[in-house]
A = this chain, B = another copy of it.
Amino acid sequence: MSQLKLEFKTLLKSHAELVEKTLIELLDEACLDYEIERPARLMQAMRHSSLDGGKRLRPFLVMESAKLFDVKPDQSVLAACALECIHCYSLVHDDLPAMDDDDLRRGKPTTHKAYDEATAILAGDALLTLAFDILSREATHTSATTRIELVKLFAQNSGLGGMVGGQMLDLEAEKKTSISKEDILTLQAMKTGALIRCACHAGAVLGNASKEEQQTLFDFGDIIGQAFQLVDDILDVTSDAQTMGKKTSKDADKGKGTLVSLYGLEASQARAEELLEMAIETLVPFGKKADILIEAARFTIERKN
């Protein structure tokens, strides 16, 4: 393994640990201001939905993008956790019986399986709301202007015009007999791409980056967002549930159109490599400072789960 890859793996792990520790604290504090009884079952379901899970790729991208602009991980971790709360809420709602109806997530029962549907809906709602609570805090960034810019960025990328809209288009696509490449790209850019783009863009906002630099991080996030979803579709075909910690062959089973089903495995893998080259190209202006983000792009595309 190259020195850089080793450094990336170490950072991915240590950032994930910082995110985990911070999420635990945030969830513990979340009710303290009110001096009322905490809804214990809801808190447990929020913990089940957000802790001990995943690679924490989105928070990693927030923290490493912010680092390009000399913001240390302990200064960007709260915004990173807010984004992770939004990601986790979306998984809880997407897994519901009325949506993708999944029993397994990150190798554990999904929230509605471990609790019940009502609790899962509310845990998702509370995690989404907590994200904006976190963004509003002075500890997230000293400047109110930066904090409100993050609120706008997160809200626009996760709502009707972003992630939620993408999930809606995805549900509708499942009912169609065929779907065009453009429609697949649009729904993926919204459903998965928006939050990944948002992660990189948020790092630049946290670092008071110029509009031009923000655009560069937006572009980088956009490209690896595309790559991430493409690789997800490839793994859905080539991997198994044990490796993925969730059900595979879901798309094929549903007869759902993906880029892989349209273009085949080989062309899709070639496209993923092409996206990696584009992502690397985007970060040239940052020189060696961007080495870890480039490793993250490489990891996104070469991952096995």
- Chain A contact residues, CB within 8 Å of chain B: 30-31, 33-34, 36-39, 41-43, 46, 89, 93, 96, 98-99, 116-119, 121-122, 124-126, 128-130, 132-133, 135-137, 144-145, 147-149, 151-152, 154-156, 158-162, 164-169, 171-172, 183, 186, 189-190
Task: Return chain B residues, CB-CB under 8 Å to A159.
Answer: 30, 125-126, 129-130, 133
Task: Return chain B residues, CB-CB under 8 Å to A116.
Answer: 98
Task: Return chain B residues, CB-CB under 8 Å to A154.
Answer: 132
A118–B164 Cα distance when bound, in Å, is: 11
Least Cβ–Cβ distance between A145 and chain B, in angstroms: 4
Task: Return chain B residues, CB-CB under 8 Å to A89.
Answer: 125
Least Cβ–Cβ distance between A89 and chain B, in angstroms: 8
Cβ contact within 8 Å between B122 and A167: yes
Task: Return chain B residues, CB-CB under 8 Å to A160.
Answer: 30-31, 38-39, 42-43, 46, 126, 129-130
Given A159-B126, A190-B36: A152 in contact with B133 (beta carbons within 8 A)? yes
Please tell me which one of the listed residues B144, B145, B165 contacts residue A38 in the complex, with CB atoms under 8 A apart. Answer: B165
A296–B186 Cα distance when bound, in Å, is: 47
Least Cβ–Cβ distance between A242 and chain B, in angstroms: 28
A214–B50 Cα distance when bound, in Å, is: 34
A175–B24 Cα distance when bound, in Å, is: 29
Smallest CB-CB separation from A146: which chain B residue?
Answer: B144
